[in-house]
Chains A and B, each alone.
Chain A
């Protein structure tokens, strides 16, 4: 069965450093998403992406965050200057039409020291 792939599975970085989290969505999907889950808290929506542009973003997704689909397969989340509070599990997801069944990757555990 097709799946969403995320790399790396774990990322440790120093505060203030830039990180890029990578995702390969399912090939025929059109909508891409990033969610995050801080340890012990609810999953939170960050951003959705369609047709090479952001379609929705949450208050969390400030100027420190950006997303990109640099080629036909990868979908990336960049955090420009990481903060301690950015430590979380970051999940990438994709869907064919918007709002329908989402397929999630296994996540990237980001630890900011």
Chain B
């Protein structure tokens, strides 16, 4: 059974710092991996999607990497801003049924 783990559960850093969020998964039979952002009481916004054949994807200050064989992904946020404060969720799409299996998220606080 696929398990997705995110470390750390919470992170608080000063504005301007570069930071890395980690995601690991136990079953490498994935179709793709997505990083989402969740703001309190709001929906889930897809940030980056990495296909299983890809190594990384970039969007603005965000860069996500995928090492499928080791079951790991990282989300790198450059030059963090207070507006980046949110919970970041990692989810893998299973090859077998295209269901998304989610991590518990990393709650990120960027201090001004």
Quick one: closest B residue to A43, CB to CB?
B102
Residue B10 is within 8 A (CB to CB) of chain A in the complex: no
A-B pairs with beta carbons under 8 A, tally: 51
**Per DSSP, are chain B's interface residues mostly helix, strand or loop, or mixed?**
strand
B36 contacts across to A, CB distance below 8 A: 104
Query: Whole-angstrom distance from the CB of B23 to the nearest CB of chain A?
Result: 13
Query: Whole-angstrom distance from the CB of B36 to the nearest CB of chain A?
Result: 8
Contact A42 B102 (CB under 8 A): yes
Residue B49 is within 8 A (CB to CB) of chain A in the complex: yes
A43 contacts across to B, CB distance below 8 A: 44, 89, 91, 100, 102
Contact B46 A102 (CB under 8 A): yes
Contact of A100 among B49, B91, B102 (CB under 8 A): B49
Q: 7 A–B contact pairs at CB < 8 A?
A: A4-B43, A48-B98, A48-B99, A99-B93, A103-B46, A105-B43, A106-B43
> CB within 8 Å of B: which residues of A?
4, 35, 41-45, 48, 56, 58, 91, 93, 98-107, 109
